Amino acid sequence: QVQLVESGGGLVQPGGSLRLSCAASGSIFSIYSVGWYRQAPGKPREHVATITRTTTTNYAASVKARFTISRDNAKKMVYLQMNSLKPEDTAVYYCTLWGDNQYWGQGTQVTVSS
Asked whether the predicted pLDDT for residue 99 surpasses 90, the reply is no
Asked whether the predicted pLDDT for residue 93 surpasses 90, the reply is yes
Could you give the percent of the chain with pLDDT greater than 70? 99
Q: How confident is the model over 85-93, as a mean pLDDT?
A: 98
What pLDDT shows up at residue 24?
Answer: 94
pLDDT tens by residue, 58-75: 999 999 999 999 999 999
Rounded-to-integer distance, Cα 59 and Cα 48, Å: 6
Query: What 3-state class would DSSP assign to 60?
Result: coil
What pLDDT shows up at residue 12?
Answer: 98
From residue 50, how far is each of 14, 82, 93, 97, 114 by CA, in Å?
24, 14, 13, 9, 29
Rounded-to-integer distance, Cα 91 and Cα 38, Å: 6
Tell me if 21 sits within 8 A of 108, measured CB to CB.
no
